[in-house]
């Protein structure tokens, strides 16, 4: 089954190397996809990013990766430009069409 056919909530176990040691990590496909995107934006490999997360963790590696991804998304949302609510109301468009 291709990655795009796998439900995003399905757990996938993958082997990764951290400091030369192989270990396995189980994450939902959505987290693997997000982790791959974050690694690409940082111009590093997924293994290198996992090694960085591993270096700063105090608990379970899979949980540390999920928290890292969540925090990355939260930072992205917090720094995204805010949309003006005044220009997105469909009622405004409908009223201007009927008043002509």
7 dihedral zone (left: phi>0; alpha: psi -120 to 50; beta): beta
pLDDT at residue 80, rounded to an integer: 86
CATH of 9-79, one of 1.10.1060.10, 1.10.3720.10, 1.10.3990.20, 1.25.40.10: 1.10.3990.20
Partnered with residue 21 across adjacent β-strands are 18
pTM: 0.75
Q: 13: part of which helix (H) or strand (E)?
A: strand 11-18
Q: Average model confidence (pLDDT) for the chain?
A: 85
Residue 35 vs residue 2, higher pLDDT: 35
């Amino acid at each position: 089954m291709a990655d795009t056919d796998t439900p995003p909530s399905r757990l996938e176990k993958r082997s990764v190397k951290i400091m030369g040691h192989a270990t396995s990590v189980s994450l939902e496909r959505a987290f693997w996809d997000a982790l791959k995107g974050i690694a690409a934006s940082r111009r590093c490999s997924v293994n290198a990013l996992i090694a960085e997360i591993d270096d700063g963790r105090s608990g379970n590696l899979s949980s540390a990766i999920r928290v890292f991804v969540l925090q990355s998304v939260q930072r992205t949302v917090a720094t995204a430009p805010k949309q003006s609510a005044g220009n997105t109301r469909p009622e405004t468009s409908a009223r201007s069409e009927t008043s002509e």
